[in-house]
Structure 1
Amino acid sequence: VSAAKPKIANYPFTTLEPHLGVVRIDDHTEFVMADIPGLIEGASEGRGLGQQFLRHIERARVLCYLIDLVALDGIDPQEQLRVLQHEVGNYRPEMLERPSLIVGTKTDSVEASVVEEWPHMSMSSITTLNVRAVTNALAQLVSEARHAEPINEATIILRPDPEHAWVEQLADNEYRVHGRDVERVVALNDITTPEAMNYIDERLAKLGVPKILNRAGVREGDIVWISQFSFEFVPEV
């Protein structure tokens, strides 16, 4: 549903690292989707790629469980769903209370009877069957979740320009930068490469992010979140 191209690990369900993509429904509707890897059985206890990836679900407003209808590695779809939900709940029980969508995948590779008996939405990324319906359903859930969030003005430190960026304090040494433009800069680039990080630094500087972090009292070494990624803050010299 986005242009992200994740690398795959040798475990059921998994990719090697989280990938973000912006899903655009129309000119007025878009949301960031994160591919969360590492959810094998026992991941919440550190097995496989473990908790280092499960932590990325904490900021997600909506969860989408993608279930392989081909019965991946002999694991039937219902068992896949059980494992995924168990690991999410074992890591953070409250996550199971968040809005979610269950989607069966690879409908192009199974008999029609399998799809007919599947009680949830289904799609094929190969033929694109029902992909639009799934993204529309997710967009609706995200919209509802956004509107349902309480406004906590006490946590807002600075909001100089709502179109660009504002800072929220999460803990003593932890902050989050909000803003559509800022989040898109991070979401649309591969932060694992030095070249991309240099570009991200330049773009964030042009958007005034270092300045508002300084004005908000963020200190060197503090953790700063942008979208699903965290960085150590290094003040401009």
Structure 2
Amino acid sequence: MVKVPEGTTVHDLYSGQVLADLLVSGDRWLAGDGGRGGRGNAKFLSNRRRAPSFAEQGEEGEERWLRLELRLMADVALVGFPNAGKSTLISRISAAKPRIADYPFTTLEPSLGVVRPEGRTEFVVADIPGLIEGASDGRGLGHRFLRHIERARVLLIMLDLAPTAERAPDEQLSVLLGELEAYKPDLLDRPRVVVGSRADVTETSEDFDGDRLSAMTGEGLDPLVHRLADLVVQARETVVRRPSVVVHRPEPVDIAVERGEDGTWEINDRRVKLVTNLNDLTNFEALDYLHERLKNMGVDRALSRAGVREGETVRIGRLEFDYEE
């Protein structure tokens, strides 16, 4: 058993197919079936076989290569351009200690902080590395950053009001919302709060008439925390029914026999291969028992229907033999 954090997504390494999404504590997923143990010789006692000299071998377990991806589980995600003050904010409202510096892309890995407002429900905030235009196409490691926003209940969009910002606040908002929509359209349906950050280094202007905050001076922090707490409580009360996926795998009506490129006939039926691989193929008595089992399972009939001729090679799992009618 491999224990993983909540929010782990399991992909097939080669196809990229999503195999499982482990969202909450207790979620489990069977990555591969283990091999079944073989039966001892006493299980093969019969009137004809008084002292069996063979036993089944253990079955080989299923093997597959997987890629595990962790997407943060947070109540609030901080979204903004690089150097918009997100790390400073999370360091002021929680005990998180992210790296803070006066240059873009200081934050390269998301960090979590727990906010505990007095008398209110505590919630988790994720400091997401800054997004840039084209992030939804992977620019600036955009996909690595955007995936952590997917599971946030509330989005806090921070617009840089500093004079050094390359874009006006309304243009920043347009770009950020556009990137979120391009990556995953339903992100725009999440509750969100839009604030102007770094208000301590700018003068009041007509470019932005929304709420302002300064993580450095503390301006606007308390009202913002309480507003976020209200939205988090509302979001948690909205129970989203998790979709269930039922995979139907009907049993094949007959044993499939296929001819390979090298001319060898091969049986890929899982039940037949299981019976074959469990037996000791070096023991003549075990081979006699195996032939009887395969005949009762309809293997001889399937080979005849497929047009296998006498003397042609047939492969079943680890067993390879020349067909005889």
Same fold (TM over 0.5): yes
On the 8 A contact 1:38/1:49 being kept in 2, the answer is no
On the 8 A contact 1:64/1:101 being kept in 2, the answer is yes
Structure 2 unaligned regions, length at least 5: 1-92, 248-325
In structure 2, give the amino acid aligned to 1:45. Answer: D
Superposed, 1:164-203 pairs within 5 Å as: none
In structure 2, give the amino acid aligned to 1:29. Answer: T
Match of 1:101 in 2: 193
Once the two structures are TM-superposed, the CA of residue 51 in structure 1 deviates from its matched residue by 0.3
Rounded to whole Å, the distance in 2 between the matches of 1:49 and 1:71 is 26
On the 8 A contact 1:69/1:104 being kept in 2, the answer is yes
Q: Select 2:138's aligned residue among 46, 52, 67.
A: 46
Q: Select 2:159's aligned residue among 46, 50, 67.
A: 67
- 1:136 paired with 2:226, answer yes
Give the root-mean-square deviation of aligned CA atoms.
Answer: 2.7
Structure 1 unaligned regions, length at least 5: 156-169, 173-237
Superposed, 1:17-56 pairs within 5 Å as: 17-56=109-148
On the 8 A contact 2:200/2:214 being kept in 1, the answer is yes
Deviations 1:87-129 (A, max 9, x none): 1111000000110000111111111x32x76232111111101
In structure 2, give the amino acid aligned to 1:145. Answer: A
Rounded to whole Å, the distance in 1 between the matches of 2:177 and 2:106 is 15
Rounded to whole Å, the distance in 1 between the matches of 2:147 and 2:223 is 28
TM-aligned CA distance change 1:117 to 1:82, over 3 Å: closer
In structure 1, give the amino acid aligned to 2:158. Answer: L
Match of 2:68 in 1: none
Q: Select 2:235's aligned residue among 142, 145, 154.
A: 145
More strand by share: 1
Rounded to whole Å, the distance in 2 between the matches of 1:100 and 1:87 is 15
Rounded to whole Å, the distance in 1 between the matches of 2:121 and 2:145 is 27
Once the two structures are TM-superposed, the CA of residue 12 in structure 1 deviates from its matched residue by 5.2
Q: Number of residue pairs matched?
A: 155
Match of 1:16 in 2: 108
On the 8 A contact 2:98/2:111 being kept in 1, the answer is yes
Rounded to whole Å, the distance in 1 between the matches of 2:105 and 2:97 is 15
Rounded to whole Å, the distance in 1 between the matches of 2:246 and 2:198 is 42
In structure 1, give the amino acid aligned to 2:239. Answer: E
Once the two structures are TM-superposed, the CA of residue 11 in structure 1 deviates from its matched residue by 7.7
3-state secondary structure, aligned to 1:102: strand
Once the two structures are TM-superposed, the CA of residue 28 in structure 1 deviates from its matched residue by 4.5
Q: Select 1:2's aligned residue among 66, 91, 94.
A: 94
Once the two structures are TM-superposed, the CA of residue 29 in structure 1 deviates from its matched residue by 1.1
Rounded to whole Å, the distance in 2 between the matches of 1:121 and 1:36 is 21
TM-aligned CA distance change 1:117 to 1:78, over 3 Å: closer
Q: TM-score, normalised by structure 2?
A: 0.43
Match of 1:76 in 2: 168
3-state secondary structure, aligned to 1:60: coil
Superposed, 1:185-224 pairs within 5 Å as: none
Once the two structures are TM-superposed, the CA of residue 79 in structure 1 deviates from its matched residue by 1.1
Match of 2:210 in 1: 120
Rounded to whole Å, the distance in 2 between the matches of 1:132 and 1:62 is 17
Rounded to whole Å, the distance in 2 between the matches of 1:55 and 1:92 is 9
More helix by share: 1
Q: Which has the larger radius of gyration?
A: 2
In structure 2, give the amino acid aligned to 1:67. Answer: L
In structure 2, give the amino acid aligned to 1:22. Answer: V
In structure 2, give the amino acid aligned to 1:124. Answer: S
On the 8 A contact 1:17/1:37 being kept in 2, the answer is yes
Once the two structures are TM-superposed, the CA of residue 72 in structure 1 deviates from its matched residue by 4.3
Rounded to whole Å, the distance in 1 between the matches of 2:211 and 2:246 is 39
On the 8 A contact 2:163/2:202 being kept in 1, the answer is no
Q: TM-score, normalised by structure 1?
A: 0.58
